[in-house]
Amino acid sequence: MPQSSSTENRFVLSDYYKKQLKEISFQGEFRAEVFATKFRFFFLGMIFVFSTLGLLSGRPIVEFYYQISAILILLCYNFIVLYSLNKTSKYLNIFKFLSSFLEITLLTFVIGYTAQAQKNPSLVYAAPMIYVFFILIALASIRNNTQSIIFAVFVLIFEYASLTIYFYPEMSNFNSKLIELSSYFKPSFLEKESTFFLVSAVPMGIFLILLYMVVTGGLILYAIRNTSRTTHEQADLIFNAEKQAILEENMHLGMELEVARQIQAMVLPRNEELKQIDELEISARMDSANEVGGDYYDVIQHEDGTVYIGIGDVTDHGLASGLIMLMTQCAFITTLRSKVISLRESLRSINSILFSNIHVRMNDIRNLTLSLFSYKNGVFTTAGQHETILVYRHASKKTEIIDTVNNGMLVGLTESIDEFIHEKPIPLQPKDIILLYTDGATEAENPKREQFGSHRLIESLEKHADLPTTDEILAAIFQDIYVFIDGMDVYDDITIMIMRKRG
């Protein structure tokens, strides 16, 4: 019986792995940006609180207005970002860079205006440590994206370098005071005319702030790269472990499939046995699929001259299905050695044996379709449920279709099937042909996903029925199937039996 198949090669995982890793990374960045946007609401709320406290403590109202203006701009932008991200992730990269730029630029503007309004240029140096780097480190760490943090660092350095250059002239008074202070600390061994400076405020301030920015930005980058590298190493480790497990699993499955193929080959009747049957010309063939199934067929000639035939199909694929097929063959042969031989009794015994083995010992739920036949004195008798029986009548050149649904039920499904078993005679005339098959033949698909179907099987039988031997008929039918599927993979065993009454 067929099983859902997959054309994916389980060994080729690199492209899939890269795609999944990229998707995971993107989703991580997307969630981080959504969180950063929500975090920005908290940050803006805190800025509003501090601005209000500053106003109440006597800060100029104009400074409060500028701070509120910056907060409102960021707040409106924040609502736009949050709404857009909830609708689509299409503009994620734009928002990452625009957010960094807007955050730093507005804070730079507020700090610059504060320094200007208070006539205190030293705020230009103190503010980055208090305000800007707080938001930069917090939001950059949340985003965990190297490109956006590099962009933010460059924006920060450029804007604060510009701000420092702008306030450079305001630092002259401070430098004068430092020079005056230096004279008090001038060492006695220096000449009287020489000049001694404790420190030059502007160059030293610019140097320290830029150094602070670069080092802090470098530390952030190192943390991000280290986190990213660790994540990739963990992903690689998981991938390699999974790949190794899949390789071992495929090796194990390959061994199972090979054992199943050998089991199938060992229990199938040989051509020499089939040729020894006088009244019937029999040919049978099973082509194993890429995934071994559980097709079963057998032909046994009893000592009283009766020919017994069986054909069935175990559900699912693999070694377990092959074992059930072997159990079926053994049970069938065993029933033929009893004193009273009938197809009904054989099916009853086979079902009892298989149900006990499958459900109790194997702890499995597999079952099988199974039809049994007996031939003697020109009459076929059948019992059991399997695929339809195709009977080609030589006289009319037409094919009769005999349904087996009412002849039995699935074997191994329930403990007793006695009440469902019915025998049905099929009289044969000379050169009439019986064709038995499993669903692998009718369900074989072409590249358009069309199935070969029973109608094409009948057409093929009728087209080749007059060939000299059943071997040739069988080969021609298989040829028609393979021409139809046009190179497509076969995922279920294809089994066909041809029996022609000699005459």
> Is the full-model pTM beyond 0.75?
no
Round to whole Å and give the CA distance between 73 and 146.
26
Question: DSSP state, 388?
Answer: P
Residues in the chain: 503
Beta strand residue intervals within 377-470, DSSP E? 379-383, 389-393, 398-402, 423-427, 433-437
**DSSP states of 210-274:** HHHHHHHHHHHHHHHHHHHHHHHHHHHHHHHHHHHHHHHHHHHHHHHHHHHHHHHHHHSPPHHHH
Which listed CATH number (1.10.3720.10, 3.60.40.10, 2.40.50.1020, 1.10.760.10) goes with 271-501? Answer: 3.60.40.10
The whole-angstrom separation of Cα 220 and Cα 63 is 31
Please report which residue ranges of 268-318 form alpha helices under DSSP H. 271-275
| pLDDT digits (tens), the chain, 503 positions | 544 444 444 434 456 556 666 666 677 667 767 776 776 777 677 778 767 876 776 767 877 887 788 788 878 877 887 788 777 777 777 777 777 777 777 777 777 776 776 666 666 655 554 555 555 555 554 555 667 767 777 777 787 777 777 776 665 555 566 556 656 655 555 455 544 444 444 444 455 555 655 655 555 555 556 555 556 665 666 667 667 777 777 777 677 667 666 766 777 888 888 888 888 999 999 887 765 667 889 999 888 889 999 999 998 777 778 788 888 888 898 888 776 678 999 999 999 999 989 888 888 888 999 999 999 888 899 999 999 999 999 999 999 999 999 999 999 988 889 889 999 999 999 999 999 999 999 999 999 999 999 999 999 999 999 999 999 999 999 999 999 999 888 878 899 999 999 87
Give CA 342 to chain center in angstroms. Answer: 51
**Domain chopping of the chain, boundaries:** 14-186+196-243, 271-501
